[in-house]
Amino acid sequence: MFRLEATDLQVLENPRRFIIDPGGAILFVEAAGLGVIGTCALQKTGERSFELTKMGVRTSVRGLKAGEFLLAAVIGRARALGAELLYLLTNSRCAAAVHLYEKLCFRHDADIMARFGARYERCNVAMRYRGWD
């Protein structure tokens, strides 16, 4: 859907260095008989802040609610890791994903866009998790 940017390549080529070692996490969702069908990462971006990033679910399994299950698990993991700020950066072309984020208490946020949005050329949507408020 998008061209990989330098930030994407950096993280995808060395997830241990950029996700795990700094205190983040990578979660996977598996479906019986299908194997791993989705993944999402929590990238630590500050003392108590995390970016929800690199979320994806195989298109062939849409309708199984795997994305919703995965997103709920990632929110739970962020809380367990002590997150006070959980945010994401995306693009409005990902309309189904944006709808899912809104459903699970992410809200559009100009401050998040101003602070973090410039990391990606494609970013025109920035959201903050408000379920803890």
- Check whether 133 has a pLDDT greater than 90: no
Residue 64 pairs with which residues in a beta bridge?
none
Query: How confident is the model over 100-123, as a mean pLDDT?
Result: 91
**Cα 88 to Cα 77: distance, rounded to the nearest angstrom:** 15
What is the phi/psi pair of residue 30, to 5°?
-120, 140
Query: How confident is the model over 4-25, as a mean pLDDT?
Result: 83
Give residue 4's pLDDT band: very low, low, confident or very high (50, 70, 90). low
**Cα 26 to Cα 19: distance, rounded to the nearest angstrom:** 7
Q: Give the architecture-level CATH label for domain 6-129.
A: 3-Layer(aba) Sandwich (3.40)
Which residues make Cβ contacts (< 8 Å) with residue 68, sequence separation at least 6?
Answer: 100, 103, 104
pTM over cut 0.95: no
